[in-house]
Structure 1
Amino acid sequence: MVHQLLTPSQEIRTDRLLLTALSPADIDDVHALFSDAGTWQHLPSGRHVARSSSVDMVQRKIGGRARHGLGSWTVRTASDHAFVGVGGVDMTVGGVWNLGYRLAPAAWGQGFASEIALAAVRAAAETACDVPVTGRVLTNNPASVAVLRRAGLSLVWQGPASVRTEPGVEGQVWADRALSDAQFAWLVANA
């Protein structure tokens, strides 16, 4: 809990969303989302079966925010504060921001992912403008590819995914600028 005491509170409002730092108070909502098999259609092996997986993820994201000044947000609607999902950017060990999001199925198709992605790219530029914003996606997820494109990222690599996928599904790496050789190698190894 000390991490949150050391990190300034961050709240970002978009046209329709309220983005706040993930906290332990969000764990039940996060676990309900990350344990829902419907939200893992493109990567079933990523589903959180045990609540401890969600607790660990939230703790890592809180720690990352404390170390790097930015991290994933809890996403709620601005109108009634209903939980929509988790999204934003997190610093990777590869030295790049990783853009990601996971939304409740009821929130799909409303443009929320693009709204989160654009806010995350802006926040990353304000926090560490010299660090690339990247996204890793599987080719069986065209909706996420469209979000990355709308957020200003470009495809820089496509090939064998680092995770177990269905036959014919490849990994992609997207970035908002040129990457160093080390950043590129890390992203490809973890695509």
Structure 2
Amino acid sequence: MVHQLLMPPQEIRTAHLLLTPLTPADIDDVYAVFSDERTWTHLPTGRHTTRASSVELVQRTIGGRVRHGLGSWVVRAAADHAFLGVGGVDMTAAGVWNLGYRLTPSAWGNGYATEIARAAVTAAHDTAADAPITGRVLTNNPASAAVLRRSGLSLVWQGESGSALPDGVERQVWADRALSVAQRDWLVANA
């Protein structure tokens, strides 16, 4: 495996954000955001309850970047480089990019999620144009669905799958293009 330090630097600047690859130095900041129950209102079972979960996330993202040329980024404020969260795309076992983000509550409501998503869609197209870009959300999170829509993705599936959810909540899969049957089946099974 090629060490991430041998990879070319990957820094993206948007109007308000600085997006850089995750590194082991980011683990404590990642854990602070991913363990904050406010960031998991729509899916409480996803919350990191141990630092080891954040270590695994960072390691998996670094490995994905090495294998696929792209992975989620650390999200910082462009003005002062304050840590805001994590976001971007990661390649899945189905051969599709998964778009996602998790931001500290103080960063909410500023349009950062849309900035991250649009930068991620562009980077994914530039890195592997043949791979679909997808996003998975719950119906109790319409704000994230709106981010996916603003980023050029369309709803391709909605229903029940995976672990139990609160009454009336369903899972959604969004994509920037038609998916193969195998890709759709994997996404539904892992929605």
Q: Output the TM-score relative to the length of structure 1.
A: 0.98
- The alpha carbon displacement at 1:164 in A equals 3.0
2:172 and 2:161 map into 1 onto residues whose CA distance is 8
2:87 matches 1:87: yes
Secondary structure in 2 aligned to 1:18? strand
Letter in 2 for 1:45: T
Does structure 2 conserve the Cα–Cα contact (< 8 Å) formed by 1:137 and 1:172? yes
Letter in 2 for 1:82: A
Does structure 1 conserve the Cα–Cα contact (< 8 Å) formed by 2:2 and 2:66? no
2:70 and 2:2 map into 1 onto residues whose CA distance is 16
- The alpha carbon displacement at 1:3 in A equals 2.6
2:108 matches 1:108: yes
1:156 and 1:171 map into 2 onto residues whose CA distance is 11
**Could you tell me which residue of structure 2 aligns to residue 141 of structure 1?**
141
2:146 and 2:57 map into 1 onto residues whose CA distance is 26
Alignment of 1:145-184 (within 5 A): 145-184=145-184
Does structure 2 conserve the Cα–Cα contact (< 8 Å) formed by 1:138 and 1:161? no
Say how many residue pairs are matched.
191
Secondary structure in 1 aligned to 2:3? helix
1:30 and 1:74 map into 2 onto residues whose CA distance is 8
**Could you tell me which residue of structure 2 aligns to residue 23 of structure 1?**
23
2:66 matches 1:66: yes
Secondary structure in 2 aligned to 1:147? helix
**Could you tell me which residue of structure 2 aligns to residue 185 of structure 1?**
185
1:112 and 1:120 map into 2 onto residues whose CA distance is 12
**Could you tell me which residue of structure 1 aligns to residue 129 of structure 2?**
129
Does structure 2 conserve the Cα–Cα contact (< 8 Å) formed by 1:3 and 1:62? no
2:148 and 2:188 map into 1 onto residues whose CA distance is 17
- The alpha carbon displacement at 1:167 in A equals 1.3
Show structure 2 runs of 5+ residues with no match: none
- The alpha carbon displacement at 1:2 in A equals 5.9
1:21 and 1:27 map into 2 onto residues whose CA distance is 12
Percent identical residues: 73
1:172 and 1:83 map into 2 onto residues whose CA distance is 29
Secondary structure in 1 aligned to 2:152? coil
Q: Output the TM-score relative to the length of structure 2.
A: 0.98
Secondary structure in 2 aligned to 1:87? strand
Write out the 4+ residue segments of structure 1 that deviate beyond 6 Å after TM superposition.
none
**Could you tell me which residue of structure 1 aligns to residue 5 of structure 2?**
5
Secondary structure in 1 aligned to 2:156? strand
- The alpha carbon displacement at 1:22 in A equals 0.3
1:180 and 1:120 map into 2 onto residues whose CA distance is 22
> What do the CA deviations read for 1:57-97 (whole angstroms, capped 9, x no partner)?
10000000000000000000000000011000000001100
Does structure 1 conserve the Cα–Cα contact (< 8 Å) formed by 2:156 and 2:173? yes
**Could you tell me which residue of structure 1 aligns to residue 56 of structure 2?**
56
